[in-house]
Amino acid sequence: MEIKKIYRKLVDNYEVFTRFQIWRFRNKYPVKYLNENYNTDTPTIHFLHRYITDNTGDLACGYYRYFLYKFENYRCIIHDINCVNFSLIKKNDSVIIGGGGLLNNLAEWNYNINKAVSISNKSVVWSAGFNSYSKKKIWNVVNVNDFKLFAVRDFNYKGYRCVPCATCFLPELDKKYPIIRRIGVVTHKDIPIHLPNEIHKLERISNSDSLDDMIEFIGNSEVVLTNSYHVAYWSALLQRKCILFETKSEKHKYHKYPPVFYSGVLEDDISRAHIYPNALEDCRTLTKEFVNEILVLISK
């Protein structure tokens, strides 16, 4: 384990190790072609996000899932953010980054984002999020000023435009779910939890469970206790109270519909938590407006 930590620090702090890390896993992350009946005269659209992962929230952040009909005249290629095939990207192609917490999280992700954007004339950040940790330093940052369109899921973050995560268009969010438990716990699969025994006794799933199971579990809970960004977001969209615990990333400071941070006294936290009745409609309106701007850009 200690060797892994040392290697991770080398990847985070030195470009040569960052590039080696990308090369090392190049065969693990092949590209995926989305449509066959595109117009061969149009440039290609490249979508970059985490599409090879068991993190259900990140998988759902392939926003083309909800708007592929808008891009049907274009050849569309998905690249996993861990290893981008730059040879496929041409100057007149469009590169769309998002969603998920991709920005300033890992050195190799920043490297891949910056290099892809340096090739393409039409680059977009579509509701990705900043996701750095105060105790973790990396040698590079995302070159924000290089993008033609830039909107993040983070609300009131350094003056950047906020467009909420496009998973608001998940069809599962339109269903009605009866409340069958008072408190449900959804944990992030990669983050250990240290909570009182009374909370460990509550019914729990993780963010590696299926999307259907996760949304249903949230919908069936009156209150959701989590350390996952997407679970907190979907709780707001489903009009459920949410309590966040063990929040070490900056991403949890900038929710448009904020949950309550766990104080150690759960009942007090529940009494302070809000329900957001207009969140789903608001998020979908902002997303549709941004998609229209993307379409204008890529058509030029």
Measured distance CA(58)–CA(251) in Å, rounded: 14
Does the CA dihedral 71-76-80-84 come out positive or negative?
Answer: negative
What contacts 283, CB < 8 A, 6 or more positions away? 164, 165, 168, 237, 256
For the cut 80, the answer to whether the pLDDT of residue 37 exceeds it is no
91: number of Cβ within 10 Å: 9
What contacts 186, CB < 8 A, 6 or more positions away? 204, 205, 206, 207, 214, 217, 218, 224, 225, 226, 228, 231
Quote the pLDDT of residue 73. 87
Does the CA dihedral 224-229-231-233 come out positive or negative?
Answer: positive
209 touches 169 (CB < 8 A): no
Taking residues 65-72, report their average pLDDT.
93
Measured distance CA(292)–CA(46) in Å, rounded: 17
Task: Give the length of the chain.
Answer: 300
For the cut 60, the answer to whether the pLDDT of residue 192 exceeds it is no
pLDDT in tens, 85-97: 999 999 999 999 9
Element holding 76 (H helix, E strand): strand 75-80
Quote the pLDDT of residue 207. 84
Quote the pLDDT of residue 141. 97
pLDDT in tens, 122-175: 999 999 999 998 788 999 999 999 999 999 999 999 999 999 999 999 999 999
What's the one-letter identity of residue 221?
S
Q: Structure tokens of 160?
A: 């950047």
Quote the pLDDT of residue 22. 97
Quote the pLDDT of residue 183. 96
pLDDT in tens, 203-239: 999 888 999 999 999 999 999 999 999 999 999 999 9
Q: Any idea which residue has 């019914």 for tokens? A: 203
Quote the pLDDT of residue 1. 62
Quote the pLDDT of residue 200. 78
Taking residues 168-194, report their average pLDDT.
89
Taking residues 44-58, report their average pLDDT.
94
- Bigger pLDDT: 106 or 38? 106
Q: How confident is the model at residue 193 (pLDDT cuts 50, 70, 90)?
A: low
The values of phi and psi at residue 203, to 5°, are -65, 135
pLDDT in tens, 268-284: 999 999 999 999 999 99
**Mean pLDDT (the chain, rounded):** 93
Q: Any idea which residue has 């969209």 for tokens? A: 237
For the cut 60, the answer to whether the pLDDT of residue 241 exceeds it is yes
258: number of Cβ within 10 Å: 17
Hey, which bits of 249-300 come out as E strands?
A: 260-261
Q: How confident is the model at residue 11 (pLDDT cuts 50, 70, 90)?
A: very high
Domain boundaries, the chain: 2-167+282-299, 171-277
